[in-house]
Amino acid sequence: MKRVMLDWAMRFYIIQGVARGLLYLHHDSYGKVIHRDLKVNNILLDEKMNPKISDFGLAHIVEETQSLENTQKVVGTR
């Protein structure tokens, strides 16, 4: 399979989409979700190159009353 190089405009578009996804997970979703294993392999692109965050196997849901200071345990892929 031949790989296509992405230009910087498309890369920036993908980065912005991932950032919007993380903002939603951390601030706008019903339960605050911390992904804990975000890496290139866990970003999927659809046919229009819209990024989708995947693999929530290590995700942690934080309740509104919970302090984010308690999330200092190191997890994920090295």
Q: Which amino acid is at 65?
A: T
Active site residue 46: no
**Residues 7, 37, 46, 55: which is the catalytic one?**
37
Compute CA 46 distance to the chain's CA centroid, rounded to the nearest angstrom.
15
The answer to whether 53 and 40 are in contact (CB under 8 A) is no
Q: Name the E strands within 1-78.
A: 32-34, 43-45, 51-53, 60-62
Count CB atoms within 10 A of the CB of residue 38. Answer: 20
Catalytic annotation, residues: 37
